[in-house]
Chain A
């Protein structure tokens, strides 16, 4: 008995960091103040618990303390309502490391939903970000928005209505986005200028484009690559593009399933693609002119593995669509490559190529023809791809 007790005590002691405290916040008139105070006064290891209910917030909130967990009573139970937000570029800004946010929702933030910047080893778990009016160009840009971070796990989130990307990971390294739903955004999930990203077991539906893997010039961090997009359900991404013009995703064609632009070493495998009328899979070079000498606009070592395609580009939003459809017998094959860089595809992959010879000069020189891609040479190197195991372990708590 004594032994058992002391073991229990030791377990308790090791499970809870020294002096970790719980700060309880409830909805009400002073919620803005109380919530923000809790976020400022928290110490590393503390947990901020948001009771169920609707919090009417007039200003963005922010966290700058390492090792804090912010936990609600479920993504439909605890709702941070930013409909009346008067300032700030996002609903919730996180700038510290080792933070976990879980089990709550943000509705109608004026800018982005949750942005974590330079926030290493962050976990987003069962967070919902919703623009309740559905697709609209004046909705905020990104729902879940980790950027310039090492160690990112996004698990079980749901984002609807983002005018850019629902789940956007930018300029980061060591990333997993999984078990999440991106619906009715311009881009469902976007991995941009990032390395070592695993995107798996997600549902991307009713977006303009389902899952995008981009590498763009003129950013502090470039050279995106080492990305696996696997076991995702990418269906019915047919929402007309509602991004404000000027943004890179405004150029995404309605009906794009999985799209790779530039990047190095990307695997697309074991996904189910259905109802993506322009192109279930699209692999292309950066389409615009650029002057950044550090930048490589070509897709390199992109591998299209086994995927399940239910149909191809049956209603493509492309120049000369009618002619193309006629040439290919009424429907474009599922994989579209612009012919630039290097692409490998498993045997039997139906596709077509624009056969371009130069990046960034438009489609005038396109010579559409059947896909002639090499077969993959050897196993795709999966080493180092995905979020650190420590982040996945944190979900248990």
Chain B
């Protein structure tokens, strides 16, 4: 049996690692925080227990002030406001961007200065940042449009950070999470069918779970992803490959019949 009392278990990828998770109140953020702790990390959770998600640089720096170091930053904030573009005003825009984009930018700044020892003549870090975003950085949802706008901003924020922070060794990647359980209810839309029957547009014909997204996030934070920087990785079960004329079921039946006839498989 596994000995879970020690802190040098070979399957603990994050023993002794300090992790800061913003958006720990979201399903993916909560699942990732739990998983980091199970693998030996010390986790600071923003978004829960009276610690708000930072929306400004000042708030972000205040949250990290007491920490010795940060090795890994995971941002999983998600603030969705269902309101048509035509009815939204500048304040709605500012809110969506502050929650989903500026807060991430501020957390990156604050975390970076805890990752890199600026006192050293040639500072270097093995820090990692992972931005949990969504498929709506590419795909409009027709429901909470300003959320998509913020996600689109994250795509470029991550690439910029990967270039700049990457010079000092910090890797920055993005996980574009696809329809998870519960998502269709968050994005009601009268103008698109993006979430109508979403599970049937995924080859596996089911929605993803927060745990699946969190596991992908941990992989990108681990040493296994040491040469990944500025990457945008979809975690969507293949959902973004769906196009309207996909007659999946009939084709699959035909394919299996052919394979059987040809003697492939069991």
The answer to whether A and B assemble together is no
